[in-house]
Every structure is written in C-alpha cells, then in structure tokens.
Copies of this chain bind each other. A is one copy, B any other.
Amino acid sequence: MKARIHITLKDGVLDPQGKAIHNSLEGLGFDGVNGVRQGKFIEIELDGDDAAAAKAKVSAMCEQLLANMVIEDYSVKIDG
C-alpha cells in the first residue's frame, strides 16, 4: 500500500521559500496572489495490508525523521 504524507510549516512560522515563489509569480505578471506556502510531499510504498498499522508506522516515521515537529505539521493518508 501507499502512504501519502504532507509536511507543512505550522501557522505563524515564516516561510521564506513561499515568499520567494510569491515574489517570482508577481515578477512574471501573475496578480491576485495573496499568499504562498511551500511544504513537502512524500510517497512511501509499504508492505502489508493493514491500513491502521501502516498509518501508525508512517506517523512514527514523520515524528522521528520526516517532520521537524517544532515548526512543522504532518498529515498521513493511506491508499489501499
């Protein structure tokens, strides 16, 4: 099965990468943009067919390695 993980900066944490994208979009002439936030998207292929166990395992991966829990949030979705 496949786990789809989104890792995003917590609200209130400055996002210089998002700000740089915002400025570049304006430089290219795209108007009407009020804000840009950049995060990470990670797909993990896992053995097994127990979705609840997979979700628990991937959450542990996020907390131990993938996300910086001080400044980032994560969400995990398991696809069959």
* Oligomeric state, in copies: 2
Given contacts A6-B41, A40-B41, A41-B41, contact A46 B65 (CB under 8 A): no
Contact check, A45 vs B33: say whether CB atoms are below 8 A apart: yes
A63 to B47, CA, bound (A): 35
Q: Residues of A within 8 Å of B, CB-based: how many?
A: 32
Chain A, range 15-60, C-beta contacts under 8 Å to B: 18, 21, 24-25, 28, 30, 32-48, 57, 60
Partner of A34 from the list B25, B33, B46 (CB cut-off 8 Å) is: B46
* Chain A residues in the interface with B (C-beta under 8 A): 6-8, 18, 21, 24-25, 28, 30, 32-48, 57, 60-61, 64-66
